[in-house]
Structure 1
Amino acid sequence: MLGLSLAEFEAQDGFLLIGTDLRGEYPLLNLRVRRASQRGAQVAALNPVRFDANYATVINASLGPDGLIGGLARLLEAVSKRRSEPLPAWVADWSARSPISADDLGVLVQLLERGPRVQIILGGWVEAHPQGSLITRLVSEIADQTGARWASLPTGPNALGAERVRALWGAGASRVVARELFDRPRKLYCLFGVEPEYDLWDPVTAQHALGQAEEVLVLASWLAPTHAAHASVVLPLAAQAETGGTYIDLEGRRNGFEALAPPYGEARPGWKILRMLGQRLGLQGFEYETREEILAEMNARTPATVTRNPDPASEPVAIPDRPQADWWRIARRPPYGSDPCVRHFRSAPRRPR
């Protein structure tokens, strides 16, 4: 979420893009950065690989996955020294491995000195990085030291909405990140609108775990190859245009929408399927009769607008003492491949997946 309006975003004097192919991930947001650049704003990019930009950049660096951590650690060390702020020892350890040159470091520090007029953007590559939480923590510290704004862009449809209602597996000490669900295979999996071969960053590990499960329940609008190979039961899920709901946009605002057509065949809206499953299992909190009841409860629990990102310091972060791998696989998510609805539109241009 940006934490400011799109008009305010475009009016920034500088942008630091981290782990994002903004032109491919968010073309309309990229257009606003381009307009700002034409107006005179400076743009710098730090990525695991080099992405082409359609505007001038003061830095467009390819640092590699581990180099991204080292580069940000060195940048944090540089801005902290100017303010005589103490840092943990691990920051210096990672800073020593930084591939950023002294000249580029100076340009980045000068850019960030513009403070609140600079927007730092974290993209999908940060979310996919094994140490994404550490990268986010470093960026948050850099923003605190310089006064710059920072925003983490979601990679999935309505990811901001899911975060808003705390749609997380477990809580507190029992919280489990998605990767652990597949690294340690479970007996039962429920795939809700997910095509593992396209939607997960490590589809090989996920499909291996699905193959070891005793049961796999699939709720889907389209039958993907992984569904056909592993599903014990498939329940037809209404497609996006066949059900109403609520989205949270990049400005943090709540937006409702209505169904354009009734569900096809025996398909049902997702909330109705989950309600039925919850009631059959005798669980509490599945007594809703209408979508409006769910919406009213959600609105009562969450503000209409959220302008701040979650505090990264509230989540525990493991600090690796050395690079995590000698070889990395870096895969790009192509246009028209963001979610099943878009992937299965026959009118969408055919691109490699």
Structure 2
Amino acid sequence: LGLHSPQRLSRPLMRKGDQWHEASWPEALAAAAEGLQAVLKEYGPAQLGALLAPTLTIEELYLAQKLMRSLGSDNVDHRLRQWDFTADASLPLHPGLASIAALEKVPAFVLIGSNLRKDQPLLNTRLRRAVIKGGAVGYAINAYEYDFNYPLRGVMVRDPAGMVAELAGIAVALFDGAAVPAQWTARLASVAATPGQKELAATLRKHPGAVLLLGDQAMASPYYGALRALAGLIAGQTGATVGELSAGGNGVGAWLAGAVPHRRAGGGHPHQSGLNARAMLEQHLQAYVVAGCEPEFDCADGAAALVALDAAQCVVVLSSFVTDAMRGYADIILPLATFTETGGSYVNVEGRWQSFEGALKPLGEARPGWKILRVLANLLDLPGFEQDDVAAVRAELQTSVDASEFSPGAGEATEVAWPALASGLTRVGDVSCYRADALVRRAGALQQRADNPAAAAYINDAEAARLGLAAGDRVRASQGEVVLELVVARDGRVADGTVRIPAALEATQAFGPAYGPLSLERI
């Protein structure tokens, strides 16, 4: 079990020069507070940032963002694997679904950037019943041909830009010569629907009440905003609904807790938006609070994460595990209790709060995240951190959520990032469900699963022939200045024009963006 990994952290660690040593909690927390205060005094709050795992409890997420904002910084985010944030202004209170049970009754559905069977298996079971028992018609639009345990009428496997083109073609087919809304004219003027797109459009028109589900890979796409906007346009023309399945076990809770740079707890808008996860790393802040995640595995660009953290003056990490990479960039590492060892709450895709109590005693001196953050805030002399238990934290947040009168900000759907004409290869760096977070990455049995992809350059036969590559060849894969040597593997499920190099693996943790331009050179 991952809980018993030899990398479990049971006592606080502190760096002195190049040496690490165990410390008492008072010593480690005092050092963390001192380090953050030093950066705050010298550089100001704009140089503080927090990278938070979407697997933390909502109470931990709430106190983490409250601490950062009490210090004057809105640089806080849980969307670590997201690359495109151009849709932020027009997003709803949180991603999700109106009803989980209703999936069993949908007449039709389209999976967009989703390996639903692995990433959300319980939701996949609902759709399977809709297909097997209710005769629902299903389609998938992905950058890789995933396996599903029910028949699909159509499967479109395209590169990330091609996925946008598929949805654009479906939208054009729905208008069928009628006037396109003015804001979409420029985007759709040169789009001609293919027979397959026309057939899918006709199916959606025939089956009002269909659902379009955007999954993990859609949110990680460099064109997430475009995919989401087009899905909304299609839904508006067909009576369908759009559902979004956030990554991590508590992505919805993170939105409600205010663990995003442009929203307060409960959905309120801050006076000025902070930096998103990508921008925090690209701008090389002077101090980071990293909680519940391993940025080299969990961020959209592992290489950029390592560079930014290594260059920072102060990095405080709350983690259940400790690794050599973490020892390389952290200054203080505080042992974080796992979800089995603490009380807290998660919020599901319907927005339903689900609270629980810890089932195990924390290992060694590990502590629940909410306690660590509360005491750290006390040492920083911040007001509003007097909670005695996790229920008090939850009640405070619930009050903010109940009092919120949320309304999306202004933002035109077509202002989002849009694919430009380009040639060359694109990396598809999806994350296996067995590598999705720090705990499952340490579950030995899961790592031995046959469907857990290896670190390789997967290409289809057509691309292999075009590039003159054979299975077993060694290649240099390059993303800008970041180079990785890999073995070629032939895989007919990979989209044309793409190379599948899975992310969140030890061998690929320091590679570049999970989705982006790539070049291959045979060694």
TM > 0.5: yes
1:12 positional shift = 0.6
Equivalent pair of 1:211/1:230 in contact (CA under 8 Å): yes
Equivalent pair of 2:108/2:207 in contact (CA under 8 Å): no
The reply to whether residue 52 of structure 1 matches residue 143 of structure 2 is no
Alignment of 1:329-344 (within 5 A): 329-344=427-442
The reply to whether residue 92 of structure 1 matches residue 188 of structure 2 is yes
| Partner Cα separation in structure 2 for residue 291 and residue 127 of structure 1 | 31
Name the TM-score, length of structure 2 as normaliser.
Answer: 0.61
Q: Which residue of 1 aligns with 2:369?
A: 270
The reply to whether residue 128 of structure 1 matches residue 220 of structure 2 is yes
From 178, 197, 202, the counterpart of 2:296: 197
| Partner Cα separation in structure 2 for residue 259 and residue 236 of structure 1 | 16
Once the two structures are superposed, residues 63-105 of structure 1 have per-residue CA deviations (whole angstroms, 9 ceiling, x without a partner) of 2111111222222223234664424333225x63x7xx62111
| Partner Cα separation in structure 2 for residue 174 and residue 2 of structure 1 | 23
Q: Which residue of 2 aligns with 1:29?
A: 123
1:6 positional shift = 2.8
Alignment of 1:106-145 (within 5 A): 106-114=198-206, 116-145=208-237
1:46 positional shift = 0.9
Equivalent pair of 1:183/1:205 in contact (CA under 8 Å): yes
Q: Which residue of 1 aligns with 2:238?
A: 146
1:262 positional shift = 2.2
Change in Cα spacing, 1:49 to 1:165, as seen in structure 2 (3 Å) is same
Give the residue type in structure 1 aligned to 2:388: E
SS across alignment from 2:146: coil
1:4 positional shift = 3.4
Equivalent pair of 2:170/2:198 in contact (CA under 8 Å): no
Q: Which residue of 1 aligns with 2:44?
A: none
Q: Which residue of 2 aligns with 1:160?
A: 252
Equivalent pair of 2:289/2:316 in contact (CA under 8 Å): yes
Equivalent pair of 1:13/1:41 in contact (CA under 8 Å): yes
1:172 positional shift = 5.8
| Partner Cα separation in structure 1 for residue 217 and residue 175 of structure 2 | 26
1:313 positional shift = 6.4
The reply to whether residue 322 of structure 1 matches residue 420 of structure 2 is yes
Equivalent pair of 1:15/1:44 in contact (CA under 8 Å): yes
SS across alignment from 1:17: strand
Name the TM-score, length of structure 1 as normaliser.
Answer: 0.89
Equivalent pair of 2:225/2:417 in contact (CA under 8 Å): no
Equivalent pair of 2:161/2:419 in contact (CA under 8 Å): no
| Partner Cα separation in structure 1 for residue 104 and residue 366 of structure 2 | 42
SS across alignment from 1:117: coil
Q: In percent, how many aligned pairs have the same letter?
A: 32
1:288 positional shift = 1.8
Equivalent pair of 1:119/1:150 in contact (CA under 8 Å): yes
| Partner Cα separation in structure 1 for residue 285 and residue 158 of structure 2 | 36
The reply to whether residue 68 of structure 1 matches residue 166 of structure 2 is no
| Partner Cα separation in structure 2 for residue 209 and residue 325 of structure 1 | 30
Equivalent pair of 1:133/1:312 in contact (CA under 8 Å): no
Q: What CA RMSD, in Å, does the superposition of the two structures yield over aligned residues?
A: 2.6
Change in Cα spacing, 1:134 to 1:287, as seen in structure 2 (3 Å) is farther
The reply to whether residue 78 of structure 1 matches residue 173 of structure 2 is yes
Change in Cα spacing, 1:55 to 1:215, as seen in structure 2 (3 Å) is same
Structure 2: gaps of 5 or more residues = 1-94, 263-269, 455-504, 506-523
Q: Which residue of 2 aligns with 1:298?
A: 397
SS across alignment from 2:109: strand
SS across alignment from 1:216: strand
Change in Cα spacing, 1:238 to 1:222, as seen in structure 2 (3 Å) is same
Once the two structures are superposed, residues 250-302 of structure 1 have per-residue CA deviations (whole angstroms, 9 ceiling, x without a partner) of 23211111101222222111111111222222223322222111111222232
Structure 1: gaps of 5 or more residues = none
Aligned residues: 345
Greater shift after overlay, 202-211 or 72-81? 72-81
- Give the strand-richer structure, 1 or 2: 2
Change in Cα spacing, 1:327 to 1:169, as seen in structure 2 (3 Å) is same
The reply to whether residue 241 of structure 1 matches residue 335 of structure 2 is no
Relative contact order, CA 8 A, sep 6+: which one is greater?
Answer: 2
Give the residue type in structure 2 aligned to 1:62: V
| Partner Cα separation in structure 2 for residue 223 and residue 179 of structure 1 | 23
Equivalent pair of 1:44/1:59 in contact (CA under 8 Å): yes
Greater shift after overlay, 59-68 or 82-91? 82-91
Once the two structures are superposed, residues 176-231 of structure 1 have per-residue CA deviations (whole angstroms, 9 ceiling, x without a partner) of 22111111111111110111222122111111111211121111000133212111
Equivalent pair of 1:221/1:239 in contact (CA under 8 Å): yes
Equivalent pair of 2:107/2:207 in contact (CA under 8 Å): no
Give the residue type in structure 2 aligned to 1:265: G
Give the residue type in structure 2 aligned to 1:318: V
| Partner Cα separation in structure 2 for residue 196 and residue 48 of structure 1 | 24
| Partner Cα separation in structure 1 for residue 185 and residue 315 of structure 2 | 45
Equivalent pair of 1:17/1:121 in contact (CA under 8 Å): yes
Equivalent pair of 2:141/2:155 in contact (CA under 8 Å): yes
Once the two structures are superposed, residues 34-69 of structure 1 have per-residue CA deviations (whole angstroms, 9 ceiling, x without a partner) of 221123110011112222322221210112111111
Point out the structure with max Rg over C-alpha.
Answer: 2
| Partner Cα separation in structure 1 for residue 356 and residue 206 of structure 2 | 39
Q: Which residue of 2 aligns with 1:280?
A: 379
SS across alignment from 1:234: strand
Equivalent pair of 1:194/1:220 in contact (CA under 8 Å): yes
From 109, 119, 141, the counterpart of 1:15: 109
SS across alignment from 1:194: coil
